[in-house]
Structures are given as C-alpha cells and as structure tokens.
Amino acid sequence: MDFELSEDQVLLQESVTRFVADNYSFEQRRKLVDTDQGYSDKQWSQFAELGWLGMPFAEDVGGYGGTPVETMVVLEEFGKGLVAEPYISTIVLGGGALVHGGTAAQQQELIPQVAEGNLKLALGFAERQSRYNLADVQTKAEKSGVDYVLSGMKSVVFGAPTANKFIVSARTGGAARDEGGISLFLVDADASGVSVRGYPTVDGMRAGEVTLDGVKVGADALMGAEGEGFGALETTIDYAIAATAAEAVGAMSALNDMTLEYIKTREQFGQPIGKFQVLQHRMVDMFIAHEEAKSMAMMAAMRIDDEDPNERRKAASATKVQIAKSARFVGQQAIQLHGGIGMTDEYAAGHYFKRLTMIDRSYGDGDYHLARFGAVS
C-alpha cells in the first residue's frame, strides 16, 4: 500500500500547478471562457509541448505511457483553476475510446496526432432519451455495401464545437437498450451529413448537439468488432469518471480554500464570521467532504484499470457517488457562507460551484451511480 506520488508524478504535478497559477487566475479564465471558442489554442499547444496530451497513451502509439494516476494528477490541478481546454473530451473521452475500443491501425494513426495537439476528438454517447444509460442508443448505423450510413442525434457532446473528429455510439443490431449491437464509429466533423449546434455550458465549457443525417463512413471507421462497442464505451466512461473525480477534488479544494479565507476575514457583528460555531462546523464538514472525495479519487485512480470489470465498475460508481455527495455539499455551502457575494457572477466561488454541479450532471449522477454500485457490489 502506498498513497504517495512517485518523483516523476510530483514533477508533473508541479508543472501543472505552475501552469494553472500563471494562466488561470479567475480574471484570466473569465476572459477566456467569454471568447467565442472558450479556450486558448496557444495553451493547447503548450499542453502538447509539455507532454500532457500524450500522457495516458502507450508509448508504442506515440504516448508517454502514463497511468490513471498521472491523469488524476493533471486533472486535480486543472480543477483548481477550472481549466477550460477540452482535455477531458479529447484526451479522456475521445482518446479513451480509441485506447479501449480502437483498432491498432486507428490508434497508430490518430493517437500521435492527438498527442501533438493537431487532432481534437469528441465522444458522442448520450442521446435525448438516454439519460445516463450508455446502452440506450437509437442512432442507427446501417450497412450499405462495405460502408455504414449513420443517422441520429448525439446529445450534449462535450467539446463538439471544435472537434475535428467524433467518435459516436450507434446501433448496428440488437433492441433498444441492449448492450449488444452497439458499435463505435469514427466520423469526421466535416463529413457530409454531420451538423453541430455548438453552445456554451453552464460551467463555461463548450458542448454541442451533433446530428448525423445519413452520414456515410467506410468500414475503417468502425472501431473494433461490429456490435461489440459497448464494453469499450463503458470502460471509457468509467475512466472519465475517475478523471473528473480528480478535477472535482481540485475544484473543491480551491473552493474550500477560498471560503475558509473568506470566513476568516469577513467581519460581521464585530468579529470574523468564522468565529461563529455553526460556520466553523459547516466548514469542518466541507473540509471532510473534500478529504473523502480525495480518498475516493485516489482509489479510483488506483483501481480503474483493474482487470476485473466489476471491480472497475465498483470503483467508478462508488467514486462518482462520493463526488456527488461531496461536491454538492461543498458547492452549496460555499455559496451560503459567502452570503450575497457568493451569488454573483463576478466572484469566483459561483463558477466553481457551477462546474461541480455540472460534473454531477455528467456520466451519471449520484442517484444513477448509487443504483449501479448497489447492483455490482
């Protein structure tokens, strides 16, 4: 048992911390997320140079062979600054799908481009009716000679507006909500029949509705065996849960720091409000909520690559439940303890709160994962 980071991991952490300190002050971030694109191309290139974009990929496909622990380290620091670049959508979701579901040829071709920062991916897995069930896929892929024709719509696809390629789940067989019969396809963003309605999300990131209207793709766009994409998709989402858990932990830690500092300095009734015992105990509960979330994010980073899929599911769901509990509490109480100023858009706390709230709206909320955890444990 060892909960310490290795020397290399500590170095990585330091470099991400430095990046966030230099580029993600609250004002800098506000400016950035208010631009049309919502993030910076320059910073994306910088990620590539620093090796963060290739981090989780195997060395033989152009990556740096990092483990989920490295991803945790990067995202925890990202969370502290609410980094807006599409790291999760391209690296964790898109990249993850390539790793878990792509053919060797697809990996060889695409991962180096991702690692160099020249290719952005987005993964379309949710649909209007699906909520968090990954098997509830209505988008169809019909064989047409050697090609496939895709039609349907993918909902709230993170990173969609600037993705060069989509990976989408589509039904090649099976009935509604069957796990069998789901296939993953690579689709060029500019392919004919693809349209994207991009929009900002509540937390200042970007997503879009991706409509596939008779999009023709070749057999080489199919990832893995036909009808067997569900496993890769589920694994990818579990990895994404581990990654966002770390991001949430970072965001909670920043929010707690900010709130603690505030209640130590804000004076009412002739004393810092942090002298009132109700607020002290509340702050302690927030501190505990963060510590618990951190423990679970670490657990997820250590267990998410377990060979036993049930162990992986258990780790992912238990972690997501914890994040839901902790993030909700920390977010809500941070606003409460700030009073009026906490409610304003011009103060950082609300932005952390919003990101934390949206993390619970992604990959399954607390209720969803509590049921899943109950089913697998």
Partner 1 sequence: MHMNFSADELAFEQKVAAFVSENLPADIKDKVDRGIELTREEVRRWMEILGQKGWAATNWDKKDGGPGFTIAEKFLAEDAIFMNGAPKMVHFGTRMVGPVLLAFGTDAQKAKYVPKILTSEEVWCQGYSEPQAGSDLAQLQCSAELDGDEYVVNGTKIWTTSAHCADRMFALVRTSKEARKQEGITCLLIDLKAPGVEIRPIITLDGKHVFNQEFFDNVRVPVSDRIGEEGDGWKIAKFLLGHERSNATYVSMNKRNLRKLKEIMADQRADGERLADDPGFVRKLADLEQDMLATTTMAMRQLAAASADKPVGAEASIMKLRVMDAYKQCHELMMEAGAYYAQPFERGHIRGEANTEWVGPDYLYRMSPDYFESRAMSIAGGSHEIQKDILAKRALGL
Partner 2 sequence: MDMTFTPAEQAFRREVQAFVAENLPAPIARKVADGVEMTRDDMSTWMQILAKQGWLATNWEQKDGGPGWSTAQKHIFEEECAAAGAPDIIPFGTRMVGPVLLAFGTPEQKAKYLPGIVSGEMLWCQGYSEPGAGSDLAQLQLSAKLDGDEYVVNGTKIWTTQAHMADMIFVLARTDNSGRKQDGVTCLLIDMKAPGVTVRPIITIDGRHRFNQEFFDDVRVPVADRVGEAGDGWRIAKYLLGHERSNAAGVAGAVRMLKKLRAIAKAERAEGETLMQDQDFRRTLADVETRLEVLRMTAMRNLARASADKPVGAEASVVKLGMAEIRKDISELSMQAGAYYANPFDPKAIREGWGNQQPIGADYIFKLAPDYFEMRARSIAGGSNEIQKNIIAKRTLGL
Under rule CB under 8 A, which residues in 343-362 are in contact with partner 2?
Answer: 343-346, 350-351, 353-354, 357-358, 361-362
Scanning 60-68, 178-186, 276-284, 289-297 for contacts with partner 2 by CB under 8 A, the matching segment is 276-284
> Judged by CB under 6 A, which of 278, 307, 308, 345 binds ligand FAD?
278
Determine which residue in the list 275, 311, 328, 361 makes contact with partner 1, applying CB under 8 A: 275
Number of Cα atoms under 13 Å in the Cβ half of residue 366 = 13
Element (H, E) at 156: strand 147-158
In the complex, minimum distance from the CB of residue 329 to ligand FAD, in angstroms, rounded to a whole number: 14
377 is in the binding site of which of partner 2, ligand FAD, partner 1, none (Cβ under 5 to 8 A by kind)? partner 1
Around 148, how many Cα atoms within 13 Å sit in the side-chain half-sphere? Answer: 27
Tell me the window of 58-66, 107-115, 130-138, 335-343 that interacts with ligand FAD (CB under 6 A).
335-343
Q: Quick one: tokens of 332?
A: 């809500």
268 binds ligand FAD (CB under 6 A): yes
Least distance in angstroms from the C-beta of 103 to ligand FAD: 54
Select the binding partner of residue 335 from partner 1, ligand FAD, partner 2, none (C-beta < 5 to 8 A, by kind).
partner 2
Query: What element of type H or E holds 297?
Result: helix 277-303
Q: Which two tokens stand for residue 341?
A: 């100023």
Six token digits for residue 169: 């789940």
Nearest alpha carbon to residue 180 among 145, 134, 215, 245 = 134
* Three-class secondary structure of residue 177 per DSSP: coil
What pairing do the DSSP bridges indicate for beta strands 206-217 and 147-158? antiparallel
Q: At 118, phi and psi to the nearest 5?
A: -95, -5
Strand 121-124 to 165-171 pairing: parallel
Other Cβ atoms less than 10 A from the Cβ of 280: the count is: 13
Under rule CB under 8 A, residue 353 binds partner 1: no
The residue among 11, 115, 20, 25 whose CA lies nearest residue 64 is 115
- Binding letters toward ligand FAD, positions 25-44, x by CB under 6 A: --------------------
**340 touches ligand FAD (CB under 6 A):** yes
- 174: partner contacted, choices partner 1, partner 2, ligand FAD, none (Cβ within 5-8 A by kind): none
Radius of gyration of the chain (CA): 21
Nearest-angstrom CA–CA distance, 346 and 142: 49
Q: Which of 83, 170, 84, 154 is nearest to 122 (CA)?
A: 154
Residues near partner 1 (CB under 8 A), total: 38
Binding segment toward ligand FAD, per CB under 6 A, in 42-50, 57-65, 261-269, 315-323: 261-269
Q: Are 49 and 4 in contact (CB under 8 A)?
A: no
Residue list 190-249, contact with partner 2 (CB under 8 A): 197, 199-203, 207, 209
Binding site for partner 1 (CB under 8 A): 1-6, 9, 69, 260, 263-264, 274-275, 277, 280-281, 283-285, 287-288, 291-292, 295-296, 298-299, 301-303, 318, 321-322, 370-371, 373-374, 377
What does the binding site for partner 2 look like in residue numbers (CB under 8 A)? 126, 128-133, 136, 155-156, 176-177, 197, 199-203, 207, 209, 267-270, 273, 276, 278-279, 332, 335-336, 339-340, 342-346, 350-351, 353-354, 357-358, 361-362, 365, 367, 371
